[in-house]
Structure 1
Amino acid sequence: MSARPFRFGVNMAICESRAKWQDKARRAESLGYDVIQVPDHLGLPAPFPALAAAAEVTTTARLGTYVLNAGFYRPALLAREVATTDLLVDGRLELGLGTGYVKEEFDAAGLPFPSAGERVDHLTHTVSELRRLFADHQPPPVQQPGPPIMIAGTGPRVLRFAAEHADIVGIAGALPIDDNDTGHAALAKKMDLVRAAAASRETEPELNLLVQGVFTDASTADLTFQRQLAPGLSDERIRKLPGILSGSPSAIADTVREYRETYGLTYFSVVEFSMDTFAEVIALLR
């Protein structure tokens, strides 16, 4: 796959007030982030109004969902949300979609929790229907034929579908294949699958990696959040995972460059608590 320019996103999830939220959005843009993103989990801000509020105080940053739980939505209703939001943010929306994976959230929403295969089926149906609906939606989205779509996940079926149909393929994580793997063999396997599935496309998809932690001092890093994502792994093994970046800003910048050269990854999204730390790295990569 050809090399693209770097892009950097920050996934913001804490909303205490309108003023604080908008201050944080301004700051993200000033720190060099290309995309302000919002996750989709119960107990966190609703993505579309949060992105519209961020758009009011930013000018260049794009606004993205990272990622919507497709199982919470029906295509016609989602198309209305997406088209209207794209209109209100002046065509800066990026739509990130995933299958949804937290059973407790489906239970809390009063929705059945489908099997993994059924959730992938619903995701693929949703993407197909959205593109059909955008063609003559009223009001129409600013971006035609619709906002760019990211599909993010970890399993082979989702990644294959993303490579074949999405504008952006999101790699949500890579856990070790075996006791000898740091997670990089698992990541290489995912990227091989994506390359093969995208080989016949006229336009290559952009490749994104979710960065779940950025630490300039690994010895004092708080890995509480990362342990939830990689249960059973020691702290030492967690620090070596592809979605964890450790070292000086210049060393991390070298790692990001290596990811681009080795895997074709050019779009990196960090979680909110890494926003300031990773901004130092962004400055070295521009």
Structure 2
Amino acid sequence: MPAKEFRFGAAVGLVPTSKDLLGVAARIEQLGFSTMVMADGLWLPSPFPALSAVAAATSSLRLGTQVLAAPFRSPATVAHETATIDMISDHRFELGLGIGTPDAAADAERLGMPFGTATERRAHLAATIAAVKEHFAASHQPTPRILLGGIGPKLVELAVAEADTLTIPVPYQQTRDDLAAKVKELRAGTDPSFDDLELAVNLLIIGDNELPEWVPPKFRELPAHSYGRLTGTPAQMANALRRNRDEFGISYVTVPQWSIEDFAPVVEMLSGT
């Protein structure tokens, strides 16, 4: 099937003030990134109000959660919040969802929400997607793009059936060959409509510049051959991403906020191609 167009996202985490949040959002938009995404956790800004503020201060930048921990909220709550931010952003919102990693159980407990087993969390995720789609169908509005994060067989089946994008969260230190094997395994384990999904990865280190001091040592010490590390000239990095798209079908790439300046030349080369 024809290759999907490249899209590039910037992941924003801790920001000390609203001025900083809106400033980095403006810069992300100025550099030509297609999306700004925020994660979910009690140690981070709550993504719905934060992204709503960004929506009001930007005009073309798409906004997304990557990813919202579905067990933290009832399906009806997610549907309501999604509809609100979709309206505020003039339909620029993309809903990223996951079942939550095991260490998210403590946050769920603090929120008064049951975390459950992996099977129960997948069922909650499916119910959340259904609630969102029902809400938008009832209001005769198109459902925002839905992104799922995960590589379990059941979750991938759900992504094929209900989502637009699948983020493949392989460990950053794994190699390009490991990533290739995982994509091959996922593709072999599902029906041909898997190829309709936009495939996404998150990168961690871009270029050869120093990382911020607060970046954990385990990430600073990623081997040169790690898939999460993209180095070289902008042209070399662009060629590496073209190769990943040609061979694996990966066309949506997200980088952390500290890498947006280093990655901007690649965004300029590849966006829309």
TM-score interval (norm. to shorter): 0.7 to 0.9
Alignment correspondent of 1:95: 95
The aligned residue for residue 255 of structure 2 is 270
Give me the whole-angstrom Cα distance separating, in 2, the residues matched to 1:222 and 1:89: 31
**Corresponding residue for residue 133 of structure 1:** 135
**Shift of residue 37 of structure 1?**
1.0
Normalising by structure 1, we get a TM-score of 0.84
Q: How many pairs were matched up? A: 268
Residue 120 of structure 1 corresponds to: 122
1:188 counterpart SS class? helix
Q: Is the 8 A contact 2:38 2:66 kept in 1?
A: yes
How much does 1:76 deviate?
Answer: 1.1
Q: How big is the shift at 1:225?
A: 4.3
User: Is residue 2:152 matched to residue 1:159?
Assistant: no
Segments of 5+ residues of structure 1 without an aligned counterpart are 177-181
Partner residue of 1:179?
A: none
CA distance in 2, matches of 1:224, 1:241: 20
SS at match of 2:23: helix
Gaps of 5+ in 2: none
Q: 1:105 to 1:90 in 2, by over 3 A?
A: same
Residue matched to 1:62:
62
AA aligned opposite 1:82: T
**Runs of 4+ in structure 1 over 4 Å off:** 220-229
Q: More displaced, 258-267 or 101-110? A: 101-110
SS in 1 for 2:250: coil
What's 1:259 paired with? 244
> Cα–Cα, structure 1 residues 134 and 174, in superposed 2: closer, same or farther, change >3 Å?
same
- Provide the rounded CA distance (Å) in 2 between the counterparts of 1:156 and 1:247: 35
Q: Which residue of 1 is the match for residue 270 of structure 2?
A: 285
Specify whether residues 52 and 206 from structure 1 end up closer, same or farther in structure 2 by C-alpha distance, changes over 3 A only.
same
Aligned-residue CA RMSD (Å): 2.5
Q: Does 1:173 align with 2:170?
A: yes
Deviation at 1:166, TM superposition (A): 0.7
Helix, strand or coil at the partner of 2:100: coil
Counterpart-to-counterpart distance in 2, 1:15 and 1:210: 20
Structure 2 letter corresponding to 1:49: P
Name the CA distance, whole Å, in 1 between partners of 2:244 and 2:171: 14
| TM-score for the superposition, normalised by structure 2 | 0.87
The percentage of counterpart residues that share the same residue type is 34
Change in Cα spacing, 1:245 to 1:60, as seen in structure 2 (3 Å) is: same
Going from structure 1 to structure 2, the CA distance change for 1:6 and 1:152 (only over 3 Å counts) comes to: same
* 1:153-192 per-position Cα deviation (integer Å, ceiling 9, x unaligned): 133332332133211111122467xxxxx43343223322
Q: CA deviation at 1:284?
A: 2.7
CA distance 1:175–1:243, change in 2 (3 Å): closer
CA-CA distance at 1:228 after TM superposition: 5.3
Q: Does residue 243 of the first structure (1) align with residue 228 of the second (2)?
A: yes
Q: Say yes or no: does 1:184 pair with 2:169.
A: no
Q: Indicate the SS of the match to 2:167.
A: strand
- 8 Å contact kept, 2:9–2:33: yes
* Structure 2 CA distance for aligned equivalents of residues 221 and 88 of structure 1: 34
Compared with structure 1, are the counterparts of its residues 89 and 27 closer, same or farther at alpha carbon in structure 2 (3 Å cutoff)?
Answer: same
Contact kept? 1:154, 1:174, Cα under 8 Å: no
What is residue 82 of structure 2 aligned with on the other side? 82
Q: Would you say the 8 A contact 1:212–1:243 is kept in 2?
A: yes
Deviation string for 1:104-146 (max 9, x for gaps)? 3223334343222222222122212321232114xx6xxx331
For the pair 1:145 / 2:142, whether they are aligned, the reply is yes
CA distance in structure 1 between the aligned counterparts of 2:73 and 2:128, rounded to whole angstroms: 9
Please give the alpha-carbon distance, in whole angstroms, between the structure 2 residues aligned to 1:223 and 1:121: 39
Q: Is the 8 A contact 2:151 2:168 kept in 1?
A: yes
Match for 1:184: what amino acid? Answer: R
Confirm or deny: 8 A CA contact 1:98 1:151 kept in the other structure: yes
